[in-house]
Amino acid sequence: MFDLYVNIKKRREDLKMSQAKLAELSGYADKTMISKIENGNVDLSQSKIVAIAKALKTTPRALMGWDDTLPDYSNIRPVTSRSFPVLGSVSCGEPILMTEERSVQVDSTDDVHADFVLIARGDSMTGARIHDGDVVFIRKQDTVDNGQIAVVAIDDEATLKRFYKYDDLIVLRAENPAYPDIEIRPGDGKEVHVLGLAIKFQGDVR
């Protein structure tokens, strides 16, 4: 493990990065942690080695001294945390009431051009790999192409489905054969509005 601490310090200094900045990029609230790590006073978990490697734009293997050199993988971006407003929970089955709740910090390694997030509930969209509890990133827009996954409000409730619109019919289709289509026609007396397009989701590894 000694090589790891030496390589962390060497890589940080090569990048002219401060210890405080590396602590921030690696997810440490204590800005003095990098000093302790570089002095060999902290046992690092595998996940922290990965986080530090990403912050230093290299690989865990290189930091561990298993490579002859420390390559500069400039295309590897550090994990960042962004705050998105949570509009509420959205049902993947029967529509449910959505209410404004809170904001959530979401780890992201790329730029997510979303306006808000929703927490998926239910199992009707598992065919699209969206599971109960997943965070779904939504871009606000009032129209989507047929077949795209959208958040759709039906009166005061909302659901996450594949959206199809025809001349006299709107079809909301699940990604689970156990759930029938929701069909809405002009004479049904229901107000239907597209709230936004699902552009990304984030959940636990399964």
The catalytic site residues sit at 124, 161
- Cα separation of 63 and 50, whole Å? 9
Q: Phi then psi for 200, rounded to 5 degrees? A: -170, 155
d(CA 194, CA 184): 13
What would the two tokens of residue 155 be?
């009166």
What is the C-alpha to C-alpha distance for residues 69 and 131, in angstroms, rounded to an integer? 41
Alpha helices by DSSP H, listed for the chain, are 2-14, 19-26, 33-38, 46-55, 60-63
| C-beta atoms surrounding 34 within 10 Å | 26
Q: Which residue, 94, 119, 89, 98, is CA-closest to 179? A: 94
